[in-house]
Structure 1
Amino acid sequence: MSAPKRALDRIGRQLKKYQAVLEAARARDVGENDTVVIIADLLADALGYDKYADVTTEFAIRGSYVDLAVKVGQTVRFLIEAKAIGATLKDSHIKQAIDYGANHGIEWVVLTNGIIWQMYKVHFKQPIDKSIMFEVDVLKANPKDPQVLEWFGHLSKEGYSQDNMESFWRAQQATSPYTIAAVLSERRVLAALRRELKNIAPKVRIEEDDLRQIVQGQVVKRELVDGDEARRAEDLIKRSRRAAARARNEKKETAAPTPKPVSTPLPAPPATSTG
C-alpha cells in the first residue's frame, strides 16, 4: 500500500473538492502564479504537507529557483515545475527541473498545470535522462480510483519513502507498454508463439524473424519499439535476466553439499610382548 488508509481517504475527498477548484480556475484562465498557489494548497490539503514548513518556493539550484520544492526536514522529496492552468504541458517544460534535480541529487520531479500531473524519475547519467512514471488528469480522474489514489499516495507525506518510490518505479517499469512490447519480441516468447501457431496450422512454415516483424510492425505501436523508452525497456530486460542468472548461480552454490572430510584411520598401536 502506498499510504495509510486514512491518508488515501483524505486524498480521495480532497481530489473531489479540488476538481471544482481547478474547473473554476480554468474557466478564469488563471496565470502561473495563481496556479502555483492552488498546487501548494492541494499539496497541503490532499497530500498532507505543511504548506509553510514543507513546501517552498525558495529552493535554488545553481542560482536558479524551481517553482516548488517539497522538503521534509533536510530532505528534498521532489521538485515541482508548474505551468499556468491553461498551458499544454510539453517535454521542454520539464527539462529545467530535470537538470535541477540531477545537479542536486533529487530523483523525483513533477510537471503540472494543476490539472495534469506528470511524475518523472531522473536518471543520473550523461546525458541526463528521465522516464515518466505516471500521468493523471485530475478533472477526468475518479477520486476513488485505486490507481489514482496509489499514485498520489506515493507522493503524500505519509506514503513517501525512497524505498516506496523505488518499488513503485520498478513496478511501473515492469508493466509499462514499452517493457511488454520488448518482452513480446524476445526469442523465447516468439518461440512459444510459433509453437502455438504451428498447432493451428501445422503445414504452414512460420519463422521467428517473420513473427518478430509482425509483432513490431503490426501488433504493437511503432513508438513502443523505437526511441529512448524502448531502448530502456530492452536494457531493463537484459539487466533483469543477468540478475536472475546470478541469483540462480548463487542459489546452486549455496545448495551444493559441502564434501565431508575423509578421515584417515589411526595406525594400530605396536603389539607389546609379555615375557
Structure 2
Amino acid sequence: MMVKLPQKVIERLTKTINKFQKVLQVAKDRDVNEANTVIIVGDILSDIFGFDKYTEITSEFAIRGTYCDLAIKTDDKIQYLVEVKAIGIDLKENHLRQAIDYGVNQGVQWIVLTNGIIWEIYKIQYNKPIDHDFVCSFNLLEINPRRADDQEKLYLLCKESLSKSVREDFHERILNVNRFVIAAIIQTEDVINIIKRELKKLCSGLRVDNDEIESIIYNEILKREVLDGEIAARAKQRIKRVISKSLKKASVEKIDEPTIQKIIGAQPSEKPLQEE
C-alpha cells in the first residue's frame, strides 16, 4: 500500500461499505433504472467518499449542451466527473468514450464510469492527440474495506485525498510498474547484454548473440498479451523515450573540453608556460 489512510476515513469505509453492498444487491436484483442508480451513486459519493451532498455533488452537470450525471466540485474546482449507467448494464467502450468526451469538453482530468457496482477510474492526458489512461477499477459488492489494497483504491475517490497528491502518485505508479513496462524493459539492449554476460559465465567460450536472446525472450518467455496491442506499444515507446533521453544526457556529459570550446566558439585553453 502506497499511502496511509486517515483513521477517520478507515472508520467511515468500514461502517458504510457493508450498508451499501446490501443496497446495491437489492437494486441489482430489482434491475433498477439509470435514474435510480444515479441516486444510489450520489449517496455513495456522500456517505462512503465523504462529499457534502448539497454543496459538493452536482447532478446533471451541464457541459456544452449536454449533461454528465454527476460532478464532484470542491473549492470551485471540478475534481472529477461521474458518468452513471443503470445497475444492470455492463460498462462498455462507448460508455467510456461518452465519459471521456464530457471530461475533455470541460477540461477535467479525472473521470469515473460506474453502474453503481463496478467503478472505473480514468485520467485524461491532454496530449496531441488527447488520450486517456485506465487507472484502476473495483467491484463495490466484492470489495473489502479492511484490506489495504482495497482501501487504497477507495481512497482515490475520497474527499480527504484531494488535498494530497494521492491520485497523481497512484497513477504514476500504475503507469510505470506494470507487466507491459517490465516486458518492454526486458527487451531492451541493456538487459539483453546482461543476460548474455551471465550466460557466458555458465560456459567458457560460449558464443551467443543478442538476436538469439531477444528471439527467445520474445517467442518463448513473454506472453503475447504483454507484447502485442496498444498498451504494449505505448510501454515500448515510453521506454524508448527514456533510453533516448538518457543517451543524449550521457553524450553531453562525455564531451571533452576542446569540443565544448569549439561548440561555443572559443579556443581550447592554452597549456601553461613551462618554467625555464
Q: Which TM class, normalised by the smaller chain length? A: 0.7 to 0.9
Shift of 1:3: 4.0
Once the two structures are superposed, the pairs formed by residues 187-202 of structure 1 within 5 Å of their partners are 187-200=189-202
Contact 2:10 2:145 in 1 (8 A): no
Cα distance in structure 1, aligned partners of 2:32 and 2:227: 39
Aligned to 1:82: 84
Map of 1:168 onto structure 2: 170
Q: Distance in 1 between matches of 2:16 and 2:249?
A: 45
* Aligned residue pair count: 252
Cα separation, 2, equivalents of 1:222 and 1:9: 43
Which position in structure 2 is the counterpart of 1:221? 223
Find the counterpart in structure 1 of residue 159 from structure 2: 157
Q: Which residue of 1 aligns with 2:185?
A: 183
Q: Deviation at 1:92?
A: 1.6
Deviation sequence 1:75-115 (CA, Å, 0-9, x none): 00011111111211112211111122122221110111111
The answer to whether the 8 Å contact 1:2/1:164 transfers is no
Matches within 5 A, 1:17-56: 17-56=19-58
Note closer, same or farther for the CA distance 1:83–1:59 as it changes in structure 2 (3 Å cut): same
- Structure 2 vs 1, CA of residues 94 and 207 (structure 1 numbering), >3 Å: closer, same or farther? same
TM-fit CA distance, 1:199: 4.1
| Same amino acid, percent of matched pairs | 38
Structure-2 separation of matches of 1:207 and 1:42: 58
Residues 88 and 186 of structure 1: CA distance in aligned 2, closer, same or farther (over 3 Å): same
Q: Does 1:98 align with 2:100?
A: yes
Contact 2:161 2:167 in 1 (8 A): no
Distance change >3 Å, CA 11–CA 203, structure 1 → 2: farther
Q: 1:239 to 1:63 in 2, by over 3 A?
A: same
1:116-127 → structure 2 map (5 Å cutoff): 116-127=118-129
Q: Contact 1:3–1:156 (CA<8 Å) still a contact in 2?
A: no
Using the TM superposition, give the Cα deviation of residue 146 of structure 1 relative to its aligned residue in structure 2, in angstroms. 0.9
Counterpart amino acid of 2:70? L
Instruction: Report deviation, 1:13.
Output: 2.9
**Residue in structure 2 matched with residue 256 of structure 1 by the alignment:** none
TM-score by length of 1: 0.81
User: Are the counterparts in 1 of residues 32 and 86 from structure 2 also a CA contact under 8 Å?
Assistant: yes
Task: Give 1:200 deviation, angstroms.
Answer: 4.6
Structure-2-length-normalised TM-score? 0.80
Question: Which structure has more RCO (C-alpha within 8 Å, separation ≥ 6)?
Answer: 1
Q: Which residue in 2 is equivalent to 1:257?
A: none
Gap change, CA 1:200 and 1:250, over 3 Å in 2: closer
CA change 1:238–1:38 in 2 (3 A) is same
Q: Is the 8 A contact 1:29 1:86 kept in 2?
A: yes
Match of 1:237 in 2: 239
Pairing partner for 1:71 from 70, 73, 80: 73
Aligned to 1:88, the other structure's residue is in SS state coil
Question: Structure 1 residues 156, 211: CA separation in 2 closer, same or farther (over 3 Å shift)?
Answer: same
- Which residue of 2 is the match for residue 134 of structure 1? 136
Q: Give the C-alpha shift of residue 240 in structure 1.
A: 4.1
The two structures, once aligned, show a CA RMSD in angstroms of 2.7
Q: Distance in 2 between matches of 1:154 and 1:244?
A: 33
- Residue number in structure 1 paired with 2:60: 58
Counterpart CA distance in 2 for 1:81 and 1:211 is: 47
State whether residues 4 and 159 of structure 1, in contact with CA within 8 Å, keep that contact through their aligned partners in structure 2. Answer: no
Offset of residue 197 of structure 1: 3.8
Distance 1:103 1:83 in 2: 20
Q: In 2, distance between residues paired with 1:248 and 1:167?
A: 28
Paired residue secondary structure (2:60):
coil
Q: Distance in 2 between matches of 1:198 and 1:15?
A: 56
